[in-house]
Amino acid sequence: MKKQFFKTLAKINKVLLPSYTKKKLDVSKASKYQLAIIGWKAFVTINSLD
């Protein structure tokens, strides 16, 4: 059940949150807000993997 929750959350994140890799964002120049989004997306992705 936990894995299914994170898979659904990952799909929602993909639609709602911006993709910084497509925008070619330099992580060293990212703001705290952008770093928080990157961290959140990484956390959700790690927990949704099989």
Q: Which residue has the tokens 């949150």?
A: 17
3-class secondary structure, 40: helix
pTM of structure: 0.81
| Containing structural domain, residue 29 | 2-48
Q: Within a 10 A sphere around the Cβ of 6, how many other Cβ atoms?
A: 17
- What does each of the 50 residues of the chain score in pLDDT, given as a tens digit? 889 999 999 999 999 988 888 888 888 888 999 999 999 999 999 999 87
How many domains in the chain? Answer: 1
The span from the CA of 21 to the CA of 27, in Å, is: 10
